[in-house]
């Protein structure tokens, strides 16, 4: 069996030095000051929201339910965004032309994925802080339980998800078969069928493992069966290490073949024949726009739909969450508004996408240089899914029978959605050269403000 030599330490050191230089360059001057201020805002928001949230959780069932949903949200995020880190890295084309060993590239991307997803543990840390400092009656061990369950899920779930992504990517190198055709259906090419399902399988594996972690830690921390604590911690760590080793082996032998092949199948079939589909969701909004704006609107909304096809799934998931918020707890209308703000400001904000990963100079040059109409078309393209989310949030509030609450969601939600769309568009334009960093700072700021607002209501 042919073995692939491990990357030399000089390659690893070169990657680390390059990443460190890139980070320090991006954080120089005003950008660094803004980043520090936003980190401080995030810490303040978590420290403030944690005790407020923990104060209402007095029973074991309430604590476990809250921790479960926090862990589920984190798993939903990293199961999909880890795929983006490995398969759509912004420097992929540059490094593809260099003789970089697959194992060294894996180390680079893996460290990037870990650092990118560490903030997902901040809500767990805030909740644990709340249990530790709140004077209310809480189950014994609630603080440690709230911190350990999401942490263990991340420790084993992220490597498992990455391993599944690379296994699915390696399937691109083989021949298509009947199973792939059945899985692909008419929406994706046969070769990419397993890639579509890999994030969902990673999410499922994380949630199933999380159920066992929850049960064991419940007994270990809340019911004083401390002998179970060490096996759970070591078991989660062992699964994470095993999945990391397996993923690194795949990357060492095949990553240099997987990524170019993925670039070939990344464009969905409806966009392959003539570049665009005849109709994409949201195009009907163009009927309400000036005719001169329509070409720019269609360009941008087709770019968003071509690349971010899972936004519709996120919007439907938000509707389920809005239903839960509307039917329980104090001030349900404001809670739905805060959730809507988090959804539109963090998860489905597209202004930064159109200045970053979806920016296309050749597409820009095919249309007249009418900046006013282009800006209006871009703003309309980014508004479609947020407006759909607003409608679903209002519908969720209406299901309670409280017309006043629904009116609050519609009025406040419309104002906040408009403000988010305009502010994100202006900020994305100002940070056009650093779309990724600007988007990260924006999301941290919006998430922190939502946490503070959640503590207030």
pLDDT, tens digit, for every residue of 310-319?
677 788 888 8
Closest CA to 439 of 426, 427, 455, 421: 427
Distance of alpha carbon 283 from alpha carbon 298, whole angstroms = 7
What is the value of pTM for the model shown?
Answer: 0.71
Q: Please give the backbone phi and psi of residue 274, each rounded to the nearest 5 degrees, phi first.
A: -125, 15
The owner of tokens 């006043």 is 404
**Averaged pLDDT for residues 412-438:** 83
Task: Give the pLDDT confidence of 346-404 residue by residue, as tens digits.
Answer: 878 888 888 776 776 766 777 777 888 888 888 888 988 899 999 999 999 999 888 88
Task: Give the pLDDT confidence of 408-422 residue by residue, as tens digits.
Answer: 999 999 999 999 999
Residue 439 in tokens = 């988007």
CA distances to 33, 93, 138, 362, 374 from 264, rounded to whole Å, are 40, 13, 54, 19, 30
DSSP summary character for residue 432: G
Are 195 and 168 in contact by the 8 Å Cβ rule? The answer is: yes
**Residues contacting 122, CB < 8 A, separation 6+:** 42, 46
Distance of alpha carbon 299 from alpha carbon 276, whole angstroms = 9
Is residue 314 helix, strand or coil? helix
**Residue 192, pLDDT above cutoff 60:** yes
Closest CA to 381 of 454, 326, 302, 448: 302
Are 75 and 203 in contact by the 8 Å Cβ rule? The answer is: yes
DSSP summary character for residue 350: -
What is the pLDDT of the chain when averaged over all its residues? 80
End-to-end CA distance of the chain: 62
Distance of alpha carbon 72 from alpha carbon 211, whole angstroms = 10
Of 150 and 55, more confident: 150
Distance of alpha carbon 52 from alpha carbon 303, whole angstroms = 41
**Averaged pLDDT for residues 416-437:** 82
Distance of alpha carbon 289 from alpha carbon 255, whole angstroms = 45
Distance of alpha carbon 142 from alpha carbon 241, whole angstroms = 27
What is the pLDDT at residue 87? 84
Are 189 and 113 in contact by the 8 Å Cβ rule? The answer is: no
Residue 245 in tokens = 């080793």
Distance of alpha carbon 126 from alpha carbon 210, whole angstroms = 20
Q: How confident is the model at residue 173 (pLDDT cuts 50, 70, 90)?
A: confident
CA distances to 4, 64, 317 from 118, rounded to whole Å, are 31, 21, 23
What is the pLDDT at residue 249? 93
**Residue 244, pLDDT above cutoff 50:** yes
What is the pLDDT at residue 242? 95
Task: Give the pLDDT confidence of 118-140 residue by residue, as tens digits.
Answer: 888 888 888 888 888 877 677 77
Distance of alpha carbon 299 from alpha carbon 378, whole angstroms = 9
């Amino acid at each position: 069996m042919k073995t692939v030599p491990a990357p030399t330490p000089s390659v690893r050191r070169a990657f680390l030095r390059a990443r460190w230089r890139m980070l320090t360059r991006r954080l120089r001057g005003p950008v660094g000051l803004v980043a520090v201020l936003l980190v401080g805002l995030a810490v303040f928001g978590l420290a403030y929201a944690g005790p407020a949230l923990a104060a209402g959780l007095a029973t074991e069932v309430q604590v476990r339910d809250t921790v479960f949903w926090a862990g589920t949200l984190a798993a939903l995020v990293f199961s999909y965004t880890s795929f983006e880190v490995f398969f759509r890295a912004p420097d992929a084309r540059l490094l593809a032309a260099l003789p970089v060993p697959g194992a060294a590239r894996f180390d680079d991307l893996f460290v990037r994925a870990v650092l990118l997803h560490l903030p997902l543990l901040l809500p767990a840390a805030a909740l644990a802080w709340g249990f530790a400092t709140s004077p209310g009656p809480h189950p014994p061990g609630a603080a440690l339980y709230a911190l350990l369950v999401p942490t263990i899920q991340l420790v084993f779930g992220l490597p498992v998800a990455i391993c599944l992504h690379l296994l699915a990517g390696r399937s691109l190198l083989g021949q298509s078969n009947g199973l792939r055709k059945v899985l692909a259906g008419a929406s994706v090419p046969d070769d990419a069928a397993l890639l579509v399902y890999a994030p969902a399988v990673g999410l499922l594996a994380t949630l199933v493992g999380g159920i066992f972690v929850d049960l064991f830690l419940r007994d270990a921390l809340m019911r004083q069966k401390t002998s179970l604590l060490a096996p759970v911690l070591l078991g989660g760590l062992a699964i994470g290490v095993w999945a990391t080793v397996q993923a690194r082996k795949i990357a060492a032998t095949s990553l240099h073949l997987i990524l170019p092949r993925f670039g070939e199948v990344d464009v969905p079939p409806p966009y392959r024949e003539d570049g665009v589909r005849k109709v994409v969701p949201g195009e009907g909004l163009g009927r309400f726009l000036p005719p001169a704006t329509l070409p720019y609107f269609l360009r941008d909304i087709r770019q968003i739909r071509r690349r971010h096809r899972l936004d519709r799934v996120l919007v439907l998931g938000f509707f389920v969450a809005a239903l839960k918020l509307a039917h329980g707890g104090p001030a349900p209308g404001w809670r739905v508004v805060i959730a809507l703000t988090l959804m539109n400001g963090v998860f489905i904000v597209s202004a930064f996408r159109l200045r970053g990963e979806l920016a296309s100079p050749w597409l820009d040059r095919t249309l007249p240089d009418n900046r006013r109409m282009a800006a209006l078309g871009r703003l309309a393209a980014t508004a479609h899914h947020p407006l759909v989310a607003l409608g679903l949030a209002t519908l969720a509030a209406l299901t309670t029978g409280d017309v006043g609450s629904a009116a609050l969601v519609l009025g406040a939600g419309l104002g906040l959605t408009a403000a988010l769309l305009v502010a994100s568009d202006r900020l994305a334009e100002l940070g056009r050269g650093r779309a990724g960093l600007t988007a990260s700072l924006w999301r941290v700021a919006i998430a922190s403000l939502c946490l503070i607002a959640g503590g207030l209501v």
